[in-house]
Chains A and B, each alone.
Chain A
Amino acid sequence: MTSDHTAADIDRHVRVYITVFVALMALTLITVAISYLHLPLPMAVTVALLVATVKGSLVACYFMHLISEKKLIYAVLALTAVFFVALLVLPVATVHDGYWIH
């Protein structure tokens, strides 16, 4: 993807990077500020992971250029996401009525 970038493209990229940087800083401060509110645990987990997901998406989309990738890259990423969820579900699925299934 190196040769098809013009100087103006890169200038536009750099402006986006600065905006994303400011957004990431703001979200970091927001997530820390929310943690001092001592919300009930389910609420706190939801909010913290939501903010982290937004921050992570910003990094992946703009710094890692995921927003302008080819279809194949998205397909590989989707496959990874499926296996990630499967790995998380696996231990949960082995619990029945609060006991581990041996």
Chain B
Amino acid sequence: MLNVPLATFNTIVLISSSVTMVMAWASLMRNRFGTFRIYMGATILLGGVFLVVKYFEYSHHFESGEYPSTNNFLALYFTLTGLHMLHVFGGMMVNAYFLGPGSKQWKTNPEWFINRVEHSGLFWHFVDLVWIFLFPTLYLL
């Protein structure tokens, strides 16, 4: 019913995005703003890839007549993955702000900016952490 290879791919995508997020922070700590922009851009892009893959998964479910109302498992599956996707989207929005208009603060108060990026990273890693548990629970068992 669920596509394990596709979800494995998505797990790799999300773990990679966590690494690029922490590298974005490390770049700021090394005073390399250009590198920060590349890693932050990559983090947002990987979040986007995750959502696109999930869109295809959802489309396939709906085409096969699988809805939250079909059975208990699918109700839980759609609730858990749906809420998780909303959090991925939220994290992408915050990261996009720090890549775009929010990055002005790097010039005026770099220490605060680094802390903001670190906290946005904490949220992003937590979203990754939740997926690390959702993936085996929903797809592998």
Contacts and interface: CB of A to CB of B under 8 A. Distances in A.
Contact of B140 (A2, A3, A32): A32
B42 to A, nearest CB: 13
A31 B11 CA distance: 12
A13 B26 contact: yes
Nearest to A48: B136
B22 A63 contact: yes
Contacts of A34: 140
Contact of A5 (B23, B29, B137): B29
Interface string A24-54: 1100110110110000010011001101100
18 contacts: A2-B29, A2-B118, A7-B30, A14-B26, A21-B16, A28-B15, A35-B4, A35-B136, A41-B141, A45-B141, A52-B133, A56-B129, A56-B133, A59-B18, A60-B125, A60-B129, A63-B18, A64-B122
Size class of the B contact interface (CB-based, 8 Å): 20 to 34
B15 A17 contact: no
Given A56-B133, A59-B18, A2 B11 contact: no
A28 B135 CA distance: 10
Interface of chain A, helix or strand or loop or mixed?
helix
Given A2-B29, A25-B12, 7 more contacts: A18-B19, A28-B12, A32-B4, A52-B132, A52-B135, A59-B18, A64-B121
Interface residues of A, number: 32
Interface of B: 4, 8, 11-12, 15-16, 18-19, 21-23, 26, 29-30, 111, 114-115, 118, 121-122, 125-126, 128-129, 132-133, 135-137, 139-141
B126 to A, nearest CB: 7
Nearest to A18: B19
B23 A51 contact: no
Contacts of B21: 63
A34 B23 CA distance: 31
A25 B26 contact: no
Contacts of A41: 141
B114 A2 contact: yes
B9 to A, nearest CB: 10
